[in-house]
Structure 1
Amino acid sequence: MLNRRLSYVNYAYVNAVGISSIFQIGDSKNILLRSKVFAVQRQVETFYTKEGNFSKYSIFNKALPQPVLDEQISAVFFNKRGKIEVNAVKIHGVSTSSAFHIGSTNDVVCETRTKHIRQLLPLNEKKRNIST
C-alpha cells in the first residue's frame, strides 16, 4: 500500500541524470530502471557492423538474483504531519539505473548490466606505431 504524502522541496540542484536514471519528487507506484551497455574501446579505431549482440554475452542472459523474502514483517506507520519536507538537495550525479526519489513508492526495480571490452595493441605493435 502506497503511503501517500505531499513532498515539499525548497531547493534542488542536480548536475546530471544519466542513462536510465531518474530524479523524482513526489509519489510513484512503481519505478523500473533498466540499462544494458556494450562498450568496446580500441587503441586503433575500427568499427565492425556485427558487434553489440547482447545474446553473445552471458552477463546479459543470466537471471538476476532476487532477494528471498521469507520473513513476516509487520509495520505500523504514523505520519503526524503527512508530508515530506526537504530544505535543500545538491546532487553531483545520478547515473546508470539509479534513482533519487523524494516521496513514497511501492516497488523499485533497478538493473544495469555492462560489458566493457578493451582491445589494446601488443607492446611491440605500440612501439612500432609510436616510432612511425
Structure 2
Amino acid sequence: MDGVRNSVVQEISINDVVFGSNVRIGDTTHIKAYSRAFAVQREEELYFGFEVSFDDFPIFSEVIPLPPITVNIQFHRYNLDPVIRVDHINIIGISSSSIFHVGSIKDAYLESRVHHVRQLKSRPEV
C-alpha cells in the first residue's frame, strides 16, 4: 500500500471565516497564508483614524529563518482503512491566516504576525 488516504466528511458547519483565512476541500499542492495585525488595547476609548504603519515596526518585516531539514526520516506506513471518516465538524470561527483543510497538503506555510500594545491612562503620583 502506498499510504494514499481519502477523507470523507459527512457535514461541516462553520460560522465565520475572516482575516485571510481559507476553507479548502480537496487535495492541495501548496498553501501560503499571511496575516498581520497591530492590536491596541486602550484603557480609554479613543480612535484617531489611521494610527500606525506596519513599516514602522521591524516585527512585520523581519525575515523568519526556516532551518533546512537535514534529517533523513524513513518510515513505513500501513493503513488498515484507506479512508478517514468523520461524521460532523462544527467550527465557531477561523481567523488570522488560518486554514481549515479536508484532504492532503503537500506544502504549507502559514504566518501570522501580531504586535500588541496597551495604552493606559496616566496615574497621578502618590
TM-score by length of 2: 0.76
Question: For each residue in 1:3-37, what CA deviation from the matched residue of structure 2 results, as whole angstroms up to 9, or x when unmatched?
Answer: 86553211111222232222222111111110011
Q: How many angstroms apart in 1 are the aligned matches of 2:6 and 2:37? A: 36
* Structure 1 gap segments, 5+ residues each: 125-132
Shift of residue 58, structure 1, vs aligned partner = 1.7
Query: Quick check: 1:84–1:103 contact (8 Å CA) kept in 2?
Result: no
Aligned CA-pair RMSD: 2.5
% identical aligned pairs: 36
Q: How many angstroms apart in 2 are the aligned matches of 1:80 and 1:86? A: 16
1:112 equivalent in alignment to 2:107: no
- Equivalent residue for 2:19? 19
TM-score by length of 1: 0.73
Query: Quick check: 1:9–1:86 contact (8 Å CA) kept in 2?
Result: yes
Q: How many angstroms apart in 2 are the aligned matches of 1:87 and 1:23? A: 18
- Equivalent residue for 2:46? 45
* Amino acid across the alignment from 2:111: E
From the CA coordinates, give the structure whose radius of gyration is larger. Answer: 1
Shift of residue 41, structure 1, vs aligned partner = 3.5
Q: How many angstroms apart in 2 are the aligned matches of 1:89 and 1:46? A: 38
Question: Which one has the bigger helix percentage?
Answer: 1
1:88 equivalent in alignment to 2:88: yes
Q: What is the total number of aligned residue pairs between the two structures?
A: 121
Q: How many angstroms apart in 1 are the aligned matches of 2:9 and 2:47? A: 48
Query: Quick check: 1:55–1:61 contact (8 Å CA) kept in 2?
Result: yes
Query: Quick check: 1:7–1:83 contact (8 Å CA) kept in 2?
Result: yes
